[in-house]
Amino acid sequence: MIDRVVYPKNSHEEKAGSVLYYMQRDQRIIDNPALYFAQQKALEYRSPLFVVYPLPVEQNGINNYQLCFIMDGLEKLRTRLKEKGIPFFLLPESPETAVFKMVEKVKAAMIVTDFLPLRLKKIIEKNIERKSPCPLYVIDAHNVVPCTLASYKQEYAAYTIRKKIHEQLNEYLNKPEYTIQNHPYSSDIFQNEREWEELVTACRKNKSSVSTFLSGEKAANDTLKVFISEKLPFYSLFRNNPVENAVSHLSPYLHTGQISARMIANAVLVSGNDKKNVDDFIEELIIRRELAENFCHYNINYDNVNGFPGWAKETHLSHHNDPREYIYGLNELEEAKTHDSLWNAAQMEMITTGKMHGYMRMYWAKKILEWTPSVEQALNIAIYLNDKYSLDGNDPNGYTGIMWSMGGVHDRLWFDRPIFGKIRYMNYNGCKSKFSITAYIKKVNGELV
Ligand code: FAD
């Protein structure tokens, strides 16, 4: 267990007392090492365990259906935690305020939180660490091989991290599941039902029906089962074809931590599917995903041009003044009003379903680069739209995917060409040779394909 501690963040000594799990990213009970660690500490000190989730009610950019997806999952999680004797609190406050209110309320002797390698969470942890009267532990509950143990530095590309992860992978896949037991040390501090209901109602008041995804651990598991039985046999063949339904659609569940990547990997590995399909899927689920975590953890500029490799910065500089045939502003892009019906369909797929197909995401981002006056503007627009509309947005995968598309992160140099320089290019005709564009547009419009 101790190998998943990213850091005890402050120098306070551990004392006996209640344990508070500040849940941010890993919103699940099954196979959650951070919650498990918190419970083990509470058991050691024969004390109650509490969970707090700071609800981002006023968070800029977060879409109503993203909020509803989180809320639906938390409601189910709360019930399951209650059955285990672990009170759950939803506080409509900033994380620091929520955590300190709870520390005081339950007289917490220790705070445990999950690991998210993004700037805001790291700042929050620093502030908690600075002001906290008790120790703060950060546990990596998201990566199969813990991020800081997979590598201690920023990796250059998939080929440099692959070996490092594979060397440790079996060890982590084979560790016993982190099972939460009925908690024997109870407390009479619970969130008042009325307060809870009011918060849930407030969140849902503008509930939009755009999302096609059910939320929660059961929905995540059902999605996994469907993937393994119906889609995994075609994964290698069709995963880059947005007309076929061959991808897992697990990213919204992975993003909110409603399912553990380790559980998914183990289920896929014992599924008896063809080796090529299994290997290709594990490559995406573990190597590519954990490479993105590595990038965001070790590169503070994971969402701006300073995070590009040197060659990409240079190539963008030398093509900065290249003329653009089309230039679009944020509104035209957001409203899917470009000359390119394929791009418009991809944008609409993201807005109407909360998720764009992975292959289209690359095309979508590269065209934004081609149609905006500068790479800086292109990056800002792509990040803004991706985070605003994707159920899996605001994620290391998103920042890294956009930095790959526009800034050559984890990619190699290509032939020099206008606007893109040596960044890999994608075009409409390339897509046409891979899948039926008409069928994709029809699919997005809800017409029979
Ligand atoms: P599957 O093909 O079924 O893959 C299973 C899992 O593997 C995914 O859920 C994901 O966790 C991981 N994975 C797959 N492809 C990648 C990849 N290229 N990089 C890292 N991990 C991967 N992913 C997000 O989770 N959130 C985002 O906001 C996001 N934005 C992206 C933006 C751009 C411009 C690009 C190029 C990629 C982005 N990705 C993002 C990565 C990838 O496209 C998605 O993870 C994938 O499409 C999710 O769909 P799925 O679960 O059905 O994928």
* CA angle (257 as vertex; 251, 262 as ends), nearest 5: 85
Counting Cα atoms < 13 Å in the Cβ hemisphere of 163 gives 5
| Pocket perturbation via mutation, ligand 1, pick of 212, 260, 284, 410 by most ligand atoms within 8 A of CB | 284
* Cα 337 to ligand 1 centroid, rounded to whole Å: 25
Residue ID of nearest Cα to ligand 1 atom 44: 358
| Pocket perturbation via mutation, ligand 1, pick of 237, 248, 286, 392 by most ligand atoms within 8 A of CB | 392
Ligand 1 atom closest to the CA of 365, numbered from 1: 34
Positive or negative: CA dihedral 207, 213, 214, 217: negative
* Cα 251 to ligand 1 centroid, rounded to whole Å: 6
CB contact set of 140 (below 8 Å; sequence gap of 6+): 4, 6, 33, 34, 114, 115, 146, 147, 148
How many whole angstroms separate alpha carbon 61 and alpha carbon 441?
27
Type of residue numbered 277? N
**Residues within a 6 A CB radius of ligand 1:** 239, 247-251, 254-255, 284-285, 288-289, 292, 358, 361-362, 365, 386, 390, 392-393, 395, 397-398, 401-402, 404-405
Q: Can you give the pTM of this predicted structure?
A: 0.97
* Cα 289 to ligand 1 centroid, rounded to whole Å: 8
* Cα 94 to ligand 1 centroid, rounded to whole Å: 28
Structure token digits, residue 152: 């201690």
Residue ID of nearest Cα to ligand 1 atom 42: 358
Residue ID of nearest Cα to ligand 1 atom 30: 398
Q: What is the pLDDT along the chain (449 residues), one digit of tens a residue?
A: 667 877 766 678 889 999 999 999 999 999 999 999 999 999 999 999 999 999 876 655 567 888 889 999 999 999 999 999 999 999 999 999 999 999 999 999 999 999 999 999 999 999 999 999 999 999 999 999 999 999 999 999 999 999 999 999 999 999 999 999 999 999 999 999 999 999 888 887 766 656 679 999 999 999 999 999 999 999 999 999 999 989 999 999 999 999 999 999 999 999 999 999 999 999 999 999 999 999 999 999 999 999 999 999 999 999 999 999 999 999 999 999 999 999 999 999 999 999 999 999 999 999 999 999 999 999 999 999 999 999 999 999 999 999 999 999 999 999 999 999 999 999 999 999 999 999 999 999 988 76
Ligand 1 atom closest to the CA of 285, numbered from 1: 7
* Cα 284 to ligand 1 centroid, rounded to whole Å: 8
Task: Count the helices and strands in the chain (H runs, E runs).
Answer: 21, 6
Nearest residue to 172 via CA among 151, 144, 139, 147: 144
Residue ID of nearest Cα to ligand 1 atom 46: 358
